[in-house]
Chains A and B, each alone.
Chain A
Amino acid sequence: NAGVTQTPKFRVLKTGQSMTLLCAQDMNHEYMYWYRQDPGMGLRLIHYSVGEGTTAKGEVPDGYNVSRLKKQNFLLGLESAAPSQTSVYFCASNDSGYYEQYFGPGTRLTVT
């Protein structure tokens, strides 16, 4: 099992550009999450999904959109990137019956 994978690993964007981060999991997990990690702030939830076709807002959803068209994939979109979105983005997943979240390797995004 690959677990949780994220594409790409690194990306540099200019202000105003858009992009999509892809998260894939092969554990048949129902729940998927997108977090961002900023220095000194731990991880903060952006959006999450409790199943295929569902999405919901987390703590810091502004400027991001998500989609979960297939159970194994969870996409995070930046419509118009801003320097404040420079961060490391982590995807995570867990099964409905368990509470540990398993994390992907992260995507380091820089917006200039």
Chain B
Amino acid sequence: AQKVTQAQTEISVVEKEDVTLDCVYETRDTTYYLFWYKQPPSGELVFLIRRNSFDEQNEISGRYSWNFQKSTSSFNFTITASQVVDSAVYFCALRGSNDYKLSFGAGTTVTVRA
């Protein structure tokens, strides 16, 4: 069974601060896929990134960066120089190689104050 834990329920920061969202996962699969999705106040789910278990390279996309550490089963997400538009619920998700479904964490609500 796949399990994703996002221990931080809510994070509140002031604009321009950095914020890191933790994601810890459990799986018995040797091949698996990790994802981050953003859910802004409008409610839709926006795909941000997919990381394969065999690719441990960290990734940066603009102000977003992801740190994948297989040794600690973590896939953390950092927003650098946060902006009000980053206010959203962020979900980490896991899919095993033989799974169809995504197993989601409970989500972390990020509030960025001006």
Seen from chain A, the residues whose Cβ lies within 8 Å of a Cβ on chain B are 31, 33, 40-45, 48, 50, 56, 58-59, 88, 90, 92, 99-106
Contact = CB atoms under 8 A, between A and B. Distances in A.
- In this complex, the interface size class of chain B, counting residues with CB under 8 Å from chain A, is 20 to 34
Contacts of B91: 42-43
B104 interface: yes
Interface in B18-69: 33, 35, 37, 43-45, 47, 50
A99 B50 contact: yes
Contacts of B101: 33, 45, 48, 58-59
Interface of B: 4, 9, 33, 35, 37, 43-45, 47, 50, 91, 93, 95, 100-102, 104-107
A96 B101 CA distance: 13
A103 B35 CA distance: 13
Contact of B45 (A56, A58, A59, A90): A90
| Central interface residue in A31, A50, A103, by most chain B CB within 10 Å | A103
Contact of B33 (A41, A44, A99): A99
B44 A100 contact: no
A50 B100 CA distance: 8
Most buried by A among B47, B91, B102, B106: B102
Nearest to A44: B104
A103 B101 CA distance: 13
B47 A100 contact: yes
24 contacts: A31-B100, A40-B9, A40-B106, A40-B107, A43-B91, A45-B102, A48-B101, A56-B100, A59-B101, A88-B43, A90-B45, A99-B33, A99-B50, A100-B50, A101-B47, A101-B102, A102-B47, A103-B37, A103-B44, A103-B47, A104-B44, A105-B44, A106-B43, A106-B45
A22 B24 CA distance: 34
A50 B35 CA distance: 20
B46 to A, nearest CB: 8
A90 B45 CA distance: 9
A41 B50 contact: no
Nearest to A99: B33
Contacts of A42: 4, 91, 93, 104-107
